[in-house]
């Protein structure tokens, strides 16, 4: 079977790219996804996030290599394996990163990737329901973004406490300014998750030139005479070759895209040869430059029954379910996050490097269950990590999981930033706004006070934040994998378009930046401007 374009991976970037390329009815597009359909009702109900995470469904369920600086712990790394990819199983937080993230990419030699260059693609994708500045937000795109509002008294207290601690109120942390505390925006509309599949694929499945194939695990990129000509895919236990007359585009994300390149002989030639893989292009940077956010929770008990734990009771739980089924409103229409703060870990830092997301319930650190009491917690995330890791192959078997070694905290600056982030979170929780509600600090707890004690707590409790990036770095140096047009160096007809191309990780969540990359990749491939 032949197509003009074969896209590997139906995640945030892949769905956006498939939609835009198939707008040209003259071009045949095949979108391949190893996972299945997104019919699970827990995917579409925002309040179903917890059972979705607990089930492990719709995910590759990778684990990390033992992390030396985290007491040799092995971390859970769920990655989307379903139509919509991570956008179908993530926390639904809308976050672009900051303008400086993209200006930094351009300064590294990636022409066309400054904030001014990428802003039109964010706007083209967005249907930003809160309104906002029309110069900064789009209001007619396929991706619907809403604002649940700040209703819970704990969320209101958080915003007040941030101001009392010296952090300004910011009504749009994805707008003109990043720093401050304000309401959360979500990939939710009318009480339902708005995944990339919902936005870009489902309304257009009837396009005769768009072939979406689920349960299709790509085993290898087919390369002939230095050019990608197709892929080998396993469907229903059978292997078959699909040919691309135009291009093959990888949208598998920060783990799967470099894995597939290496399985196809594109990577460090000596390492591939040792695994018995015939090298077709020596690109030592494939799988290197791995970046991800590290996070943990500061947990606080409350003295009033105002957290989302109240919905655990049979009566209130039944009322919440009925409210959602009938009106698409109530706690099941929300993820339990209403407020967020972006702050600087030290006065000399020029841009926010700590993100605090308030969660209106207490969960265990693995997010697999609620703690049986009222309280809240802050998700503390260091959004500008200095540590770098790598993705490598465990074996030449395409079914084998790769080795993912983040090397978290291998750069000592990250520990300093994390420690300061916890101190700042405690300072916010200690403000007068929380006086009516504040109970005991449950984690780290009153026994953890000195720098050494905080560092030990971080090593024992921090976890991955599932924002893998950088492993197919965009650039022009010897370690780069793709150029500024996302073309794989040394191989014709092959591009990568997902978070793996980020030379540096954005200072926030990665779903919306991945969508932007898919949008921009379509114009690069079709050689048109964003207009």
Which residue numbers are catalytic?
467
Instruction: Give the SS3 label for residue 364.
Output: coil
- Distance in angstroms (rounded) separating the CA atoms of residues 469 and 513: 11
The structure tokens listed for 200 are 């870009």
Element (H, E) at 210: strand 210-214
Cβ-based neighbours of 268, under 8 Å, separated by 6 or more: 282, 283, 284, 286
- Distance in angstroms (rounded) separating the CA atoms of residues 527 and 516: 16
Residue 166 CB neighbours (<10 A): 11
- Residues pairing with 186 in the sheet: 93, 146
By CB atoms closer than 10 A (0-12, 13-18, 19+), residue 376 is buried
Cβ-based neighbours of 111, under 8 Å, separated by 6 or more: 484
One DSSP character per residue, 317-328 reads HHHHHHHHHHHS
The structure tokens listed for 504 are 């540096």
Rg of the chain, C-alpha, whole Å: 22
The position carrying tokens 């600056």 is: 413
């Amino acid at each position: 079977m032949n197509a003009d374009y074969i896209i590997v991976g139906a995640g945030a970037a892949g769905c956006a790219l498939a939609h835009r390329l198939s707008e040209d009815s003259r071009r045949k597009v095949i979108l391949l996804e190893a996972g299945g359909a997104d019919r699970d009702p827990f995917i579409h109900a925002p309040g179903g996030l917890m059972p979705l995470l607990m089930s492990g469904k719709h995910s590759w369920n990778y684990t990390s290599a033992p992390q030396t600086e985290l007491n040799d712990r092995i971390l859970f790394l769920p990655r989307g394996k379903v139509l919509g990819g991570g956008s179908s199983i993530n926390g639904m937080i809308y976050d672009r990163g900051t303008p400086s993230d993209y200006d930094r990419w351009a300064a590294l030699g990636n022409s066309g990737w400054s904030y001014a260059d990428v802003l039109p693609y964010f706007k083209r994708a967005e249907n930003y329901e809160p309104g906002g500045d029309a110069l900064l937000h789009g209001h007619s795109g396929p991706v619907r973004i809403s604002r649940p509002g700040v209703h819970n008294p704990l969320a209101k207290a958080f915003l007040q406490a941030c101001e009392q601690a010296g952090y300004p109120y910011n009504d749009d942390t994805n707008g003109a300014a990043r720093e401050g505390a304000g309401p959360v925006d979500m990939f939710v509309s009318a009480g339902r998750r708005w995944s990339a599949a919902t936005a870009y694929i489902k309304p257009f499945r009837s396009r005769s030139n768009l072939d979406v194939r689920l349960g299709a695990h790509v085993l290898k990129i087919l390369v002939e005479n230095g050019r990608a000509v197709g892929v080998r895919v396993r469907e229903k236990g059978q292997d078959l070759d699909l040919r691309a007359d135009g291009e093959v585009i990888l949208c598998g994300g920060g783990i799967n895209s470099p894995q597939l390149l290496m399985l196809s002989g594109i990577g460090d030639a000596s390492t591939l040869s040792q695994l018995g893989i015939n090298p077709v292009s020596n690109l030592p940077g494939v799988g290197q430059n791995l970046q991800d956010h590290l996070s943990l929770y500061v947990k606080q008990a409350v003295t009033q029954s105002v957290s989302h734990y109240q919905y655990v009771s049979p009566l209130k739980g039944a009322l919440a379910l009925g409210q959602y089924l009938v009106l698409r409103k109530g706690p099941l229409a929300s993820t339990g996050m209403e407020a967020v703060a972006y702050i600087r870990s030290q006065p000399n830092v020029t841009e926010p490097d700590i993100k605090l997301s308030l969660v209106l319930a207490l969960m265990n650190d693995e997010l697999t269950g609620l703690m049986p009491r009222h309280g809240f917690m802050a998700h503390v995330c260091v959004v500008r990590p200095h540590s770098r890791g790598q993705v490598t192959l465990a074996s030449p078997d395409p079914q084998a999981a790769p080795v993912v070694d983040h090397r978290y905290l291998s750069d000592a600056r990250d520990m300093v930033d994390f420690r300061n982030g916890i101190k700042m979170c405690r300072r916010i929780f200690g403000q007068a706004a929380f006086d009516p509600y504040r109970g005991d600090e449950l984690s780290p707890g009153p026994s953890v006070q000195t720098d050494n004690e905080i560092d030990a707590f971080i090593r024992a409790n921090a976890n991955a934040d599932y924002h893998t990036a950088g492993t197919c770095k965009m650039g022009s140096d010897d370690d780069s994998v793709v150029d500024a047009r996302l073309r794989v160096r040394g191989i014709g007809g092959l591009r990568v378009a997902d978070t793996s191309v980020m030379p540096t990780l954005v200072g926030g969540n990665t779903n919306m930046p991945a969508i932007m990359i898919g949008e921009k990749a379509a114009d690069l491939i079709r050689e048109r401007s964003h207009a």
